A and B are shown apart, each in its own frame.
Chain A
Amino acid sequence: MTSSSPTTSASSSSQSDICLSLENVGISYGTNEAVRNVFMDIPKGQVTAFIGPSGCGKSTVLRALNRMNDLIEGCTLKGRVLFHGQDLYARDVDAVEVRRRIGMVFQKPNPFPKSIYENIAFGARINGYKGDMDELVERSLRKAAIWDETKDKLKQSGCALSGGQQQRLCIARTVAIEPEVILMDEPCSALDPISTLKIEEMIHELKKSYTIVIVTHNMQQAVRVSDMTGFFNVQAKADIDGKVGCLEEFAPTEQIFNAPSQQATQDYVSGRFG
């Protein structure tokens, strides 16, 4: 908690309400710049959605929030990502500990090839959970709205569930380690509308106790679940050929979809893009 910057107006004025703060973040894959100049204050206890066309860097920025990009060869980050005022990319920060505080749900459901019970218990166990494991498994599955479907087959493989159930199992797995933030990278893109609806209802429940950041291609979904929306766009680079992503507008969801301040946002949310 030593590296908080007193010069940043946002972090000094409402430190307690800001969960994650991005200060002039730019991310490159090798020499290829993916996204630049991102300034954003993600509020605590709310749902923040990232929308925008493909290749605009939404997922890249999301993965930067819990240092998932560390696993990608040649990925570098400029600027600062502050979590409650602490720079996540400071030299003495342990990425494993970051991911325990900021959990992630991926685009493709990826349950471990273990039993449903073990899928939940694995994360808790490696995080040093000492309490009643059965109770934790039930609580997590209930929070992810999948308890009723799985309570009779906890010993079965998680891979035997349907796609929507697998994704909710993955969310339950993330909830089980009690993170402060849950990042979701297009969690419904591989799911049917009914499973999507279940997950959205769950997000409404989860935001009571967690900060949620969700990337979505579905604008209606952003309207339905989020409080804040960030619209990412691609810009042609001024200096050399190529495109780079940037944060076009970041505002309350209502404002983004009803009265955006940028023309590009207006075009995108009204389907007049391109």
Chain B
Amino acid sequence: MHTSLSPQAPGSRIPAASAGGFQRGSLTFRPQLSRNRWNAVLTGLAGLATTIAVLPLVLVLAYVLIKGGSLISFSLLTQLPPAPGLEGGGIGNAIVGTLLVTAIAALIAIPVGVGGGIYLAEYSSGGSFASFVRFGTNVLAGVPSIICGVFVYGLIVSTRIFFGQSYSAMAGGIALAVLMIPTVIKTTDEGLKLVPQELRLGALGVGASKMVTITHITLPAAFSPIATGIVLGIARAAGETAPLIFTALFSPFWPEGVFNPIATMSVLIYNFAIMPYQAQISLAWAASFVLVLMILAANLLARWLSQLARA
């Protein structure tokens, strides 16, 4: 039967053969073939594009580390910024302010966002209202952050709605919450949709009501993606500057409550980096470093939370 193939010694080259009108080449790899040359060229291009894409990330981290990392000291974290022209000082008030404003934002965005996500995934039955909310969420996620700021400025700051106070930590927190809510809604919605329908049926099959099913079975099963989304939302909001410039404003003093202007790290960087004083410029770099570290830590936390699901 196998007359066309003469027996080959092991390891020898398999000869070219033609079958059914196709030119069959030898099995040996030949780099000069045009397909192999294109392959090499395109692989190289893809590698180059990837390198250019990660370069900013590496450079930003390295630059902030070099410029700001050397300034880290205990007094930096605990002291107020100096008056213009003086030396030393720290960014203690801005760190406290960022934590406070972000906490206010999280306290608003988490209940609203998780609640909205639960509605979309569990209660809405894919009607026009639900698709409108989903569409609106996507649009809101893409709205430039400065527009969230100007919205809260018009709604809260200029109307002096909180006890006659204009700029306040509360207004800043609300502006950041507006930024966070779409992320939290989307991750909650998608996290809940990943929960197998069988689990819901199982809970209902042992006589659980819908509320008990959601609170005891579905939400715990989707804890990891929801928590990841919340942490990423917080990390994004904590670094925002534009919505805070004209809501939380800035303060060179320690926070005086949530209804007064407050310093935040991002606005401190914005204010200090372009000042003509070396002390302020150094503080801006130090604040950049601390802010990058905080956001990095939040992202690592999010990664850890998302791996909980697989464990």
Q: Do B206 and A103 have beta carbons less than 8 Å apart? A: yes
Known: A73-B125, A126-B212, A126-B216. A110 touches B207 (CB 8 A): no
Q: Do A99 and B207 have beta carbons less than 8 Å apart? A: yes
Known: A110-B196, A112-B199, A122-B216. A103 touches B204 (CB 8 A): no
Q: Which single member of A71, A122, A126, A127 contacts B201 (CB below 8 Å)?
A: A71
Q: Which residues on the A side are within 8 Å of B196 (C-beta)?
A: 110
A191 CB-CB contact with B under 8 Å: no
B205 CB-CB contact with A under 8 Å: yes
Q: Do B207 and A126 have beta carbons less than 8 Å apart? A: yes
Q: Do B201 and A96 have beta carbons less than 8 Å apart? A: no
Known: A99-B206, A99-B207, A113-B220. A108 touches B198 (CB 8 A): yes
Bound CA–CA A104/B201 (angstroms) = 9
Q: How many A-B residue pairs have CB under 8 A?
A: 69
Bound CA–CA A103/B207 (angstroms) = 7
**Least Cβ–Cβ distance between A206 and chain B, in angstroms:** 16
Q: Which residues on the B side are within 8 Å of A103 (C-beta)?
A: 205-207
B301 CB-CB contact with A under 8 Å: no
> Size band of the A side of the interface?
20 to 34
Q: Which residue of A lies closest to B203 (CB)?
A: A112
Known: A103-B206, A122-B206, A174-B206. A112 touches B201 (CB 8 A): no
Known: A73-B125, A122-B216, A126-B212. A110 touches B198 (CB 8 A): yes
Q: Which residues on the A side are within 8 Å of B112 (C-beta)?
A: none
Q: Which residues on the B side are within 8 Å of A173 (C-beta)?
A: 202, 206
Bound CA–CA A99/B213 (angstroms) = 13
Q: Which residue of B lies closest to A179 (CB)?
A: B207
Q: Do B207 and A127 have beta carbons less than 8 Å apart? A: yes
Q: What 1/0 flags go to B166-202 for Cβ under 8 Å of A?
A: 0000000000000000000000000000001011111
Q: Which residues on the B side are within 8 Å of A105 (C-beta)?
A: 205
Q: Which of B192-236 contact A (CB under 8 A)?
A: 196, 198-209, 212, 216-217, 220-221
Q: What 1/0 flags go to A92-115 for Cβ under 8 Å of B?
A: 000011011001111010111110
Bound CA–CA A130/B293 (angstroms) = 51
Q: What 1/0 flags go to A163-187 for Cβ under 8 Å of B?
A: 0000000100110110000000000
Q: Which residues on the A side are within 8 Å of B207 (C-beta)?
A: 96-97, 99-100, 103, 123, 126-127, 177
Bound CA–CA A58/B167 (angstroms) = 66
Bound CA–CA A96/B216 (angstroms) = 16
**Least Cβ–Cβ distance between B129 and chain A, in angstroms:** 15
Q: Which residues on the A side are within 8 Å of B204 (C-beta)?
A: 68, 71, 96, 99
Q: Do A110 and B208 have beta carbons less than 8 Å apart? A: no
Bound CA–CA A209/B179 (angstroms) = 57
Q: Which single member of B202, B217, B221 contacts A170 (CB below 8 Å)?
A: B202
Q: Most chain-B CB neighbours within 10 Å: which of A104, A106, A110, A127?
A: A110
Q: Which residues on the A side are within 8 Å of B221 (C-beta)?
A: 113
Q: Which residues on the B side are within 8 Å of A73 (C-beta)?
A: 125-126
Q: Which residue of A lies closest to B217 (CB)?
A: A112
Q: Which residues on the B side are within 8 Å of A106 (C-beta)?
A: 198, 201-202, 205
Q: Which residues on the B side are within 8 Å of A110 (C-beta)?
A: 196, 198-199, 201-202
Q: Which residues on the A side are within 8 Å of B203 (C-beta)?
A: 112, 122
Q: Do B208 and A126 have beta carbons less than 8 Å apart? A: yes
Q: Which residues on the B side are within 8 Å of A71 (C-beta)?
A: 200-201, 204
Bound CA–CA A195/B209 (angstroms) = 31
Bound CA–CA A112/B220 (angstroms) = 10
Bound CA–CA A97/B39 (angstroms) = 65
Q: Which residues on the B side are within 8 Å of A100 (C-beta)?
A: 206-207
Residues of B within 8 A of A (CB): 125-126, 196, 198-209, 212, 216-217, 220-221
24 CB contacts below 8 A, A to B, read A71-B200, A73-B126, A96-B204, A96-B208, A99-B204, A99-B205, A99-B206, A103-B205, A103-B206, A103-B207, A104-B201, A105-B205, A106-B201, A110-B198, A110-B199, A112-B203, A112-B217, A122-B203, A122-B208, A122-B216, A126-B216, A127-B207, A174-B206, A177-B207
